[in-house]
Amino acid sequence: MFKHLLRRLAPSRPGRRIPLADLCGRDRLRNQEEIRARCRTVVVRSDMAVTQILGRYKMFVDPGDYSLAVHLMMDGYWEMWLTEELLRLVKPGMVVADIGANLGYFTLIMADLVGPQGHVLAFEPNPHVAGLLQRSLRVNGMGDWASIEQSPLGAVSGLPVTLCFNPEQAGGAFVSDGENEDFSVAIPHVTRRFDEHPRAHQVSVVKIDAEGSEERIWEGMAALIAGKVLRIVVMEWCSFRYADPAGFLDAILAAGFSLAYIDPLDGVVPLDRDALLTRAPDQEWLLLLRR
């Protein structure tokens, strides 16, 4: 059944996918227009559809999710400024991590870039979303060098927590150690430290988008951060979500990381500590940390 459906998603130019080099080397508007022209979607069932993204990949999504899936089904891309930057940062043979993988848009890109000599560790605690991501990896032939972990990452291992989300906004799921009655789905989980993963110490690039859990995840990466392999972290930042944003930022800087952010129009822009801490606390930043 899936093979029949996927044949209907063939690119508009038979036999040719948009090259990775073009996705970060050509004019962004031109790329977006071509990607959107190639984008098509087949609904498999009420909670599953297959859509073509970036003119390269077949991706399983939940058509009822309007936080991310609707954009992928209509446009075929998401956050091109981050897409382009990851295309520059991730190299063949690397071991990389996608923490808060969601449907796996960036996981697919990273897996394509590292190739079979590398590996992608994708962390996604939502079981339905993780299942869709697993299908996407397999149908694109990347299942052998990308793995999915469903334990939410945190500062300690073994802490009982609850994953809370609205099914129509599955990408906004967050981990709580208390009750959240405003969310219609609550799934019990147990946390795990990232640096206890057997392949964590091989990771050189990490992307973190964890809806406020970034501070705790960083604490659970201490052994990895103390090592020499990790060089680049791309991380969503929002001061107001953290217990001690100044302390969190000081820990990042003390580990030897330079501070910049990825701007949708201007690309990578240097950033200083005070600017990050004194702007509106609910402002979201996409940080690029290097050392």
User: How many angstroms separate the CA atoms of 249 and 254, rounded?
Assistant: 9
Give the amino acid at 291.
R
Of all residues in the chain, the percent with pLDDT exceeding 70 is 91
Classified as helix, coil or strand, 44 is strand
Identify which of 230, 194, 197 has the alpha carbon closest to the alpha carbon of residue 89: 230
> Is 3 inside any structural domain?
no
Query: How confident is the model over 77-104, as pLDDT tens digits?
Result: 999 999 999 999 999 999 999 999 999 9
pLDDT for 8-28, tens place per residue? Answer: 444 445 458 999 999 999 999
The answer to whether position 213 is within a domain reads yes
4 has a pLDDT exceeding 90: no
Taking a C-beta distance cutoff of 8 angstroms, is the pair 159, 191 a contact? yes
Strands 95-99 and 57-61: unpaired
pLDDT digits (tens, 9 = 90+) for 269-289: 999 999 999 988 889 999 999
**Count of positions (residues) in the chain:** 291
Residue 90 domain boundaries: 78-290
Tokens of 249: 């930022």
Contacts of 87 (CB under 8 A, 6+ apart): 20, 23, 24, 109, 113
Domain CATH number, residue 285: 3.40.50.150
Phi, psi values for residue 232, rounded to 5°:
-135, 135
- Residue 86 located in a structural domain: yes
Residue 103 lies in a domain: yes
Distance CA 44, CA 53 (A): 17
For residue range 89-148, list pLDDT tens digits in order. Answer: 999 999 999 999 999 999 999 999 999 999 999 999 999 999 999 999 999 999 999 999
Is 224 part of any domain? yes
Q: What's the domain count of the chain?
A: 1
pTM recorded for the entire structure: 0.91
**Residue 128 belongs to a domain:** yes
- Whether 240 is in a domain gets the answer yes
pLDDT band at 219 (very low <50, low <70, confident <90, very high): very high
Assess if residue 168 is contained within a domain. yes
